[in-house]
Amino acid sequence: MTPAQRAMERLGTWPDLTACPAGCGTGQAFRTARDEIVHFHSDRDVDLHLTRRAIQRFHYDLGGSSAIQLVPGSCWVTVHLDCATDVDLLLSLVSVALKAHQVRPPSTGPVPAGCNFHRVTVLPRDAVNER
């Protein structure tokens, strides 16, 4: 079983989430009644809708992880799943995202851009560590 399959299996048991096709058209997603929260694009690459406010709050922590890719201006982060620890990180961040979406005021401005699919290139961790 791949890390993404393990994560999807675990998220499938969460009462606040429902599985659905990803709104971007690629992969499986999980959503609340209000928002899509996570897109599984491949066996390793996942986009998580954290909200801009949550990303700003945790920016330095997120940027310090080799599993996380931030895209400037995006309210989504990309998580690369290589191991069980990455799955645990993703599940923790899904909890943060759920809370962030609960306290987010209703949108009065333009709808945020879609997930990071096709906007992020994830390098293998060994290549990141060689820089």
Q: How does the average pLDDT of the chain come out, rounded?
A: 85
What gap in Å lies between CA 105 and CA 97, rounded to an integer?
14
Q: Which helix (H) or strand (E) holds 69?
A: strand 68-70
Residues 94-104 pLDDT 10s: 999 999 988 86
Q: Which residues contact 11 (CB under 8 A, 6 or more apart)?
A: 17, 30, 38, 91, 94
| Residue spans per domain, the chain | 3-103
Residues 57-92 pLDDT 10s: 998 888 888 999 998 888 999 999 999 999 999 999
> Is the confidence at residue 119, as pLDDT, over 70?
no
Band of pLDDT at residue 111, cut at 50, 70 and 90: very low
